[in-house]
Amino acid sequence: MLHLVLFQPQIPQNTGNIGRLCALTRSRLHLIHPLGFSVTDRNLRRAGMDYWFSLDVHHHADWAAFRASDKSPRRLWLLTTKAARTFWEASFADGDGLVFGNEGSGAPDWLHEEIGAPFRIKIPHANPALRSLNLSTAAGVACYEALRQTRLIPGR
């Protein structure tokens, strides 16, 4: 199983889209609080549409609670623009977690340090004048690369 971990997400539509991605790929979604919206927000449900009912989602009061949870992934990869390696250089495994910072400020420095440089990866892009992909787009790109490598998705 693949895990997608959202650290204090702020935009409900992004979280809803990522929830839909997780439901379709049978990946587990972890939401690290505080969130920038209410989980009952209509935009969250609208983006996730009717897929939200089949989602394996876990809420965690904070990072420490997430790390202490028996539902947490075995190994973490932080997707960040502040990485030297690309996600194509990562060797994903069943049980891994893909961690994404929030839309406003990304992941804090202490989280970068905790995860460590070997497990910080970026999605490369061709236009250096632009900062990064939208959170839900980045989650989709990284999720499918991890699923391709681990062969966790049927139909291959």
Confidence of residue 38 (pLDDT cuts 50, 70, 90): confident
Confidence of residue 93 (pLDDT cuts 50, 70, 90): very high
Structure tokens at 119: 């497990």
> What is the tally of helices (H) and strands (E) in the chain?
5, 7
Q: Is residue 156 part of a domain?
A: no
Domain count, the chain: 1
pLDDT tens digits for range 139-151: 999 999 999 999 8
Strand partners, 38: none
Q: Is residue 34 part of a domain?
A: yes
Domain that holds residue 38: 3-150
Report the pLDDT value the prediction gives residue 45, as an integer from 0 to 100: 59
pLDDT tens digits for range 113-133: 999 999 999 999 899 888 889
Report the pLDDT value the prediction gives residue 131, as an integer from 0 to 100: 83
**What CATH number does the domain containing 26 carry?**
3.40.1280.10
Report the pLDDT value the prediction gives residue 128, as an integer from 0 to 100: 83
Report the pLDDT value the prediction gives residue 109, as an integer from 0 to 100: 97
Tell me the mean pLDDT in the region 58-81: 97
Residue partners of 119: CB distance under 8 A and separation at least 6: 75, 76, 77, 78
- Rounded distance between C-alpha atoms, residue 25 and residue 153, angstroms: 7
Q: Is residue 155 part of a domain?
A: no
